[in-house]
Amino acid sequence: MTPKQYLKQGWRLKELIQAHRDELKNLRELVGSMPASGNRPGGTPSWNGNTAEQARVINAIDLENRITEEIAQMVAVLQEIHEAIEAVPDKNERLVLRCRYILFLSWAETASRMNYSYQQVRRIHGSALQHTPVPERYRDPTDDEGQKDGTK
């Protein structure tokens, strides 16, 4: 995986995390709307031995736990991306990478924010990719170590 490919996965992860959060919200609404078989004094639900209702709630809790774990794994990758950007020595290169791969700004928005031309931002971006470390587990063993910017 090239540095650019590695950094670009941040946008997809952000979208997946939001989809998972939406799924959790829907799941919680669904569980909240499940009728209990009866209520004990004080308003606490009583399942009255209805194992089907209990199984649905347990399944919903298990699914919620799996989704929460998946979100945690995706956030860990986003944190790795942030750390890779922070490892780039030049502050302008870091800013371009942050604008593009953390804030998901367009080239024009990045150029405007930095008060640089479009061409300057693209040049800085190219240099930044050459200085961006890719964690070992994402590296393609067939790629030349010198070809970090994705060009061949």
Please check whether residue 81 is in contact with residue 101, taking contact to mean a CB–CB distance below 8 angstroms: yes
- State the distance between the two ends of the chain, measured CA to CA, in whole angstroms: 13
Q: What pTM does this model have?
A: 0.72
Could you report the per-residue pLDDT of 15-37, keeping only the tens digit for each? 999 999 999 888 888 777 766 55
Pick from 141, 137, 127: nearest CA to 4: 127
Distance CA 126, CA 138 (A): 20
pLDDT at 41: 53
pLDDT at 29: 84
Residues of the chain with pLDDT under 70: 34-50, 143-152
Q: Tokens 């998901």 appear where?
A: 104
Distance CA 152, CA 141 (A): 15
DSSP 103: S
Average pLDDT, the chain: 85
